[in-house]
């Protein structure tokens, strides 16, 4: 496959050697691929990336795998065998980026530490993603998204006060860690433009989760107390929650007194504006339950569609609570090309839009296992220094 002539985007011309598997690492390298880089995915024999065998399946292929590996090239290499090591090292000599998410120490045992590979290619960006980072007491602990949600405090602050801790409805730690890996790689590339040298990038799932705790962590740092679960409302802003109407729930978010006054006027509840219990945001947070009862008593008189039109007219942020199916039918999905066709199936599009570069509604498919194995062995086999 002649990727060099087909690739377009700000990273066109970059070569990525991708040793990552499952979700977070492949998500990061998929962003590079979508934005023009040539990504060679190295998979372990005999079965390749385990996510190939995870549902949901469309036309017999894993959509989970296809989503984060579209447009890449696949080769199976056994990095314990000399011939395959040679091919891998020849790739590294030409690569701009190497990404891996093995357990810390694995690459060193194979003889492929940053020190070894950067000696072969001083401009190499070597990026490692792991559960708990390359250093520290927990570096060898295995991790999946749910484990990190549990251990970081995220799960304990998700859900309702009278219910159990709840995992977020998506693999949020995997995805945010993938974004940090992408950001770390791009930052190192920028630094290379000035220094001429590559760098080592160390990204941990646990670190990523901690950085995203936001209110939960900030509350603990400010008070010394872990916040409890509060359901859908905000800890420090009110009204900022979901509210029941005659037929459905809707989300309403008033981030300041001005928006609260607009909401009250729209709902014909202007008396609340001067009510001492609700006159300021701090007072509204204290009297959150009373305020919600009053708002819902009013909202229960009409259907959600009615209230969303009324509230939107005064410029207060509000929205319906949709299923995934309903969300995918919004015009914004088409307008922003957030569903794209890849290999005959639909999957999420690219959120990063950059002027001067195409944002196609079609993307190359994910490779079959070892699809480019023969051509890549010819390209990188027995190459001299």
Instruction: Kindly report, residue by residue over 168-207, the tens digit of the pLDDT.
Output: 999 999 999 999 999 999 999 999 999 999 999 999 999 9
Q: What is the pLDDT of residue 7?
A: 77
Q: Find the CATH number of the domain harbouring 319.
A: 3.30.1540.10
Mean pLDDT over 231-236 rounds to: 96
pTM to 2 decimal places: 0.94
Mark whether 175 and 84 lie in a shared domain: yes
What is the predicted pLDDT for the residue at 6?
57
Query: What is the pLDDT at residue 385?
Result: 43
58 and 203, same domain (yes or no): yes
In a domain, 224, yes or no: no
**Shared-domain flag, residues 179 and 65:** yes
What angle do the packed helices 257-266 and 304-313 form, to 10 degrees?
130
Question: For residue 295, what are the domain limits?
Answer: 240-326
Non-local CB neighbours of 100 within 8 Å, separated by 6+ positions: 19, 20, 25, 106, 107, 127, 128, 129
Is residue 229 included in any domain, yes or no?
Answer: no
**Is the confidence at residue 1, as pLDDT, over 90?**
no
> What pLDDT score was predicted for residue 58?
95
| Residue 366 located in a structural domain | yes
Kindly state whether residues 308 and 369 are assigned to the same domain: no
What pLDDT, on the 0 to 100 scale, is given for residue 57? 97
Confidence of residue 89 (pLDDT cuts 50, 70, 90): very high
Catalytic residue numbers read 174
Same domain assignment for residues 56 and 126: yes
Euclidean distance between CA atoms 344 and 58, whole angstroms: 9
In a domain, 331, yes or no: no
**266-316: per-residue pLDDT in tens?**
999 999 999 999 999 999 999 999 999 999 999 999 999 999 999 999 999
């Amino acid at each position: 496959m002649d990727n060099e002539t087909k690739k377009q985007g700000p990273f066109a011309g970059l070569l990525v050697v991708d040793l990552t598997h499952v979700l977070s690492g492949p998500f990061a390298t998929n962003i590079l691929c979508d934005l023009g880089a040539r990504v060679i995915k190295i998979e372990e024999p005999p079965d390749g990336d385990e996510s190939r065998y995870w549902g949901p399946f469309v036309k017999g292929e894993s959509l989970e795998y296809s989503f984060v590996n579209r447009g890449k090239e696949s080769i199976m290499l056994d990095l314990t065998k000399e011939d395959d090591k040679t091919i891998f090292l020849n790739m590294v000599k030409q690569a701009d980026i190497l990404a891996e998410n093995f357990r810390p120490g694995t690459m060193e045992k194979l003889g492929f530490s940053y020190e070894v590979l950067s000696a072969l290619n001083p401009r190499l960006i070597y990026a490692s993603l792991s559960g708990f980072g390359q250093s520290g007491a927990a570096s060898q602990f295995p991790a999946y998204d749910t484990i990190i949600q549990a251990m970081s405090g995220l799960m304990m602050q998700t859900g309702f006060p009278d219910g159990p801790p709840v995992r977020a409805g998506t693999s949020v730690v995997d995805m945010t860690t993938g974004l940090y890996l992408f950001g770390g790689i791009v930052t190192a590339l920028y630094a290379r433009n000035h220094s001429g040298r590559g760098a080592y990038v160390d990204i941990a799932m646990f670190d990523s989760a901690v950085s995203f705790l936001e209110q939960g962590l900030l509350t603990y740092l400010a008070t010394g107390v872990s916040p409890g679960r509060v359901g859908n409302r905000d800890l420090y802003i009110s009204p900022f929650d979901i509210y029941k109407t005659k037929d459905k729930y809707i989300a309403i978010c008033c981030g300041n007194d001005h928006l609260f006054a607009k909401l009250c006027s729209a709902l014909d509840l202007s008396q609340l504006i001067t009510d001492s219990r609700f006159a300021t945001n701090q007072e509204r947070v204290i009297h959150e339950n009373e305020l919600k009862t009053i708002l819902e008593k009013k909202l229960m008189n009409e259907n959600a569609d009615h209230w969303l039109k009324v509230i939107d007219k005064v410029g207060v942020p509000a929205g319906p609570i949709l299923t995934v199916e309903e969300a995918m039918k919004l015009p914004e999905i088409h307008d922003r090309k957030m569903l794209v066709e890849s290999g005959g199936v639909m999957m999420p599009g690219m959120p990063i839009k950059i002027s001067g570069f195409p944002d196609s509604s079609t993307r190359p498919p994910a490779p079959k296992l070892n699809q480019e194995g023969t051509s890549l062995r010819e390209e990188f086999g027995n190459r001299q220094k």
